[in-house]
Amino acid sequence: MIDKQHLTNRFLSYVVIDTTSDPDNPAFPSTEKQWILAKMLEKELKKIGLQEVELDKNCYLMATLPSNITNEVPTIGFISHIDTSPDFSGTNVNPQIIENYQGNDIIINKAENIILSPDYFKDLLLYKGQTLITTDGKTLLGADDKAGITEIVTAMEFLIQHPEIKHGKIRICFTPDEEVGKGAHLFDVKKFGSDWAYTMDGSQIGELEYENFNAASAVVTIKGKSVHPGYAKGKMVNSLLIANNFIGALPGNEVPEKTAGHEGFIHLHDVIGSVEETKLSYIIRDHDFDQFEERKYLLQKIAFDFNEQYQENIVFVDIKNQYFNMKKMIIPVMHIVDIAEEAMIDAGIEPIIKPIRGGTDGSQLSFKGLPCPNIFAGGHNFHGRFEYIPVESMLKATEVIIGIAKKVAEKYA
């Protein structure tokens, strides 16, 4: 039996450390504060008895749990990321613990009247009678992905303490900068030495994912001409107004708030502008590669049409691919998904197999030769003040890791 309080304390010790990454810093890792948790974890992994514990110069922390059986079985891996999202503050995280939740509103910040309510976040009602950990309304919680780290460390510790549970060699890795899309960039697949792996980076209990968005970023730059407004007729070109027209030229129903499942979108997430110049920052997402390419082309086509209309080049589009749908790499090895599904069922969990409306380190790692489906870590409402996680979901995720290790040993015996 995994100790609930021990797991809770471990999670709380991680989330209070600020590990926010920085999308604007090309350094690796993008923030020095990620090293604080990485070095803490390095000591902890050695203390619980893992071997080959190595924290490299790029803040990748790898370790090994040696096999305790004589026959050769595949080496499997488990991966989570150290950093938290720059979309919301991760400084001075102050977790709140709600015991025996009964489906009521949770006042997470009385002074500012910030309420976590099942009227809006209906998933809360799944967790009646359980222990929830929330924010205090001022920061994110960091369960993405410190819950995953907690579950992996706890599972490895449990397997070390229970040698009667038979398993093959297991490799683990904690990565930096996943939230800014760089988590797998310098991951050494050969050194990791795993036949396949699982990222513990999903949300709701039961999630099991092996397909994700194809993803790109796009910056649309619009050039204007600033002239004294009293004498501007026929001379001023207001980039802000052109930007407004550009935004309106995109499909209004193909945005995050109006799509679900396999549906893709083009998401405007930042606008910086003046009369002289406006920059629109977009992310482009689609599970289908052809539709993904069509979305990229659409931005370029609109820019072309605007330039034709103004008879000069005033709209410029810079598109950068970020990651691709790992489904292509997982389908040939679907048995690794089947093993995770069986482990969930054995743990009394109903698997929820669905596409990721986002990406994980696993999407990039799969294309680097390390097939890597994604398993739930248990949290909800990531990247914001309403983030929460049921402790029981973390316990179940830990059971799934242990169950996968057992199943691989049994299947390849």
Residue 147: partners with Cβ closer than 8 Å, 6 or more residues away: 11, 200, 377, 378, 379, 389, 394, 397
Of 199, 246, 193, the closest CA to residue 67 belongs to: 193
The secondary structure element, H or E, covering residue 11 is helix 4-15
Of 379, 58, 69, 364, the closest CA to residue 212 belongs to: 364
24 is catalytic: no
Q: Is the peptide bond before 22 cis (omega within 30 degrees of 0)?
A: no
Give the number of residues written for the chain: 413
What's the CA gap between 77 and 65, in Å, rounded? 10
Structure-token pair, residue 79: 């991966």
What's the CA gap between 139 and 383, in Å, rounded? 9
Q: Which residues of 163-185 are buried (b: 16+ CB within 10 A; e: fewer)?
A: eeebbbbbbbbbbbbbbbbbbbe
Say which residue the tokens 């890791």 belong to. Answer: 401
- In terms of C-beta density within 10 A (0-12 exposed, 13-18 middle, 19 or more buried), how is residue 367 classed? middle
Question: Of 44, 83, 207, 209, which is the active-site residue?
Answer: 83
What's the CA gap between 398 and 196, in Å, rounded? 18
What's the CA gap between 199 and 79, in Å, rounded? 5
The secondary structure element, H or E, covering residue 182 is none
Residue 62: partners with Cβ closer than 8 Å, 6 or more residues away: 52, 53, 54, 56, 171, 172, 173, 191, 192
Q: Are 140 and 384 in contact, with CB atoms under 8 Å apart? A: yes
Angle between helical axes of 391-411 and 4-15 (0-180°, round to 10): 110
Of 189, 171, 115, the closest CA to residue 388 belongs to: 115
The residues that bridge with 217 in the sheet, in sequence order, are 283, 320
Question: Of 157, 178, 201, 399, which is the active-site residue?
Answer: 178
Of 360, 288, 375, the closest CA to residue 328 belongs to: 288
387 is catalytic: no
The catalytic residues are 83, 178
